Amino acid sequence: MHRVVPLFMLTLALAACSDDTPVVEQTPQWTLRETLRIGSGDEGPTSFSWVKGIAEGADGRIYIYEHSTQDIRVFNADGSFDRTIGRRGAGPGELANAEGIVFASDGTLWVSDASNGRFSRFDADGKSLESWSMTFCSSQGTWAPFVTANGIVDDDCIPGVDPYKIVRYRMDRSGVDSLGMIAECGTQALNEAATWITKVGTATSYRPIPWAPRQASAYDATGATWCAPSTGRYELLRIALGGADTVRVTRDIAALPVNAAERDSAIALIESRGPTGLDFSRIPSVKPSIHRLTIDDQNRLWVRRDRAEGGVVFDIIALDGTLVASAALNGVRTPIWSPFVVRGDVVLLVITDDDDVPQVGRFVIERDVSASTK
């Protein structure tokens, strides 16, 4: 979930920063090598239309949450289908508008079951466990919290008690802890400028403008916020709880153009269900420097951006702002806001084929100590 605050608060945060942490240009290069792809056919468990959650079990099984059917498909480490967990409904073990899945540190599978007002829980083999009733303050969109040894860290609020904060849902379900206020970063005006806002009668719809710069953020295990005040430039802040110990990372990244084919494809997708009347002149001519921020299980930041030579690259950044490596992902298309999970040397992500049909890929990190200036 992404929130923004007035610009003067960003100025205060920058003023409190320690010395800028430069990103060294010569960095180790990693490659993400595909080892498994799941998804084929027009029906059956390998047919996907909206993958909204991916998780890997301790035994290497892959759990894929399909939003359209409200179930979780389980595949063995070799990609063969194992079983289905859950179904649409409100009873025990059933899901309604679930928003994502994660494995807790005790090996139980948690589902943010929004419309049922609870966390639904399963063991690794799909047995329904006792759920935890929860009043969520808002929709999470796609739920991607950070799992710690004793809880699940996310941003939400305790209804009637606290405003939006970084919170920890205790693993034993005994309560919700407020860790601190959400760090203030970016501006509301920037996010609004990156959105088509359409009002029809009493209804208001919001649609993101492709490639428009906006604020981006992610939360790590400590409750600190990694934030890009504007994805239009490569500037990252790590703001600890309470606003202290801020780290700032900057890097010169050449702007990449949005070519005519990419623009036409984006418009065609938006209007695939009929004319929208949107002002497509608001689509920018260049791509943002940063597309997405994600935290891995080692509490490192993964910064997604495009490569000039094609494909996607992820900059992996340590807590102190050091650039650990850059990891290249070549030859596949992966939607920016689809699930992206890094556990150890395994990366799980959504791939789309030439017909934009989603599949799930498992990749492993291959390290190369050679340096690059890309």
Domain ranges in the chain? 7-368
Span 318-366, pLDDT tens digits: 999 999 999 999 999 999 989 999 999 999 999 998 888 899 999 999 9
Query: For residue 40, how many other CB atoms are within 10 A of its CB?
Result: 12
Cα dihedral across residues 313, 79, 152, 144: positive or negative: positive
| 353 touches 38 (CB < 8 A) | no
Beta carbons within 8 Å of 269's beta carbon, 6+ residues apart = 356
Q: Name the pTM for this structure.
A: 0.87
Please report the pLDDT score of residue 128 as a whole number.
96
Q: How far apart are CA 83 and CA 178, in angstroms?
A: 37
Per-residue pLDDT of 208-253, as tens digits, reads 999 999 999 998 888 889 999 999 999 999 999 877 778 999 999 9
Whether residue 198 contacts residue 208, with contact meaning beta carbons closer than 8 Å, is answered with: no
Residue 299 is predicted with a pLDDT of 94
Helix locations, 202-241, DSSP H: none
Q: Which amino acid is at 368?
A: D
Domain 7-368 belongs to what topology?
Neuraminidase (2.120.10)
- pLDDT higher than threshold 80 for residue 139: no
Residue 265, token pair as written in the block: 């494809």
The CA distance from 330 to 311, in Å, is: 5
At residue 309 the predicted structure's pLDDT band, cuts being 50, 70 and 90, is: confident
Pair 185, 191: CB distance under 8 Å: no
Q: Look at residue 198 and tell me whether its pLDDT is greater than 50.
A: yes
- φ, ψ of residue 83 to 5 degrees: the values are -165, 170
Extract the tokens encoding 57.
Answer: 């079990």
The DSSP string of 318-354 is: -TTS-EEEEEEE-S-B--TTS-EEEETTEEEEEEE-T
Parallel, antiparallel, or unpaired: how do β-strands 247-250 and 21-22 relate? parallel
What average pLDDT does the segment 32-46 reach?
Answer: 92
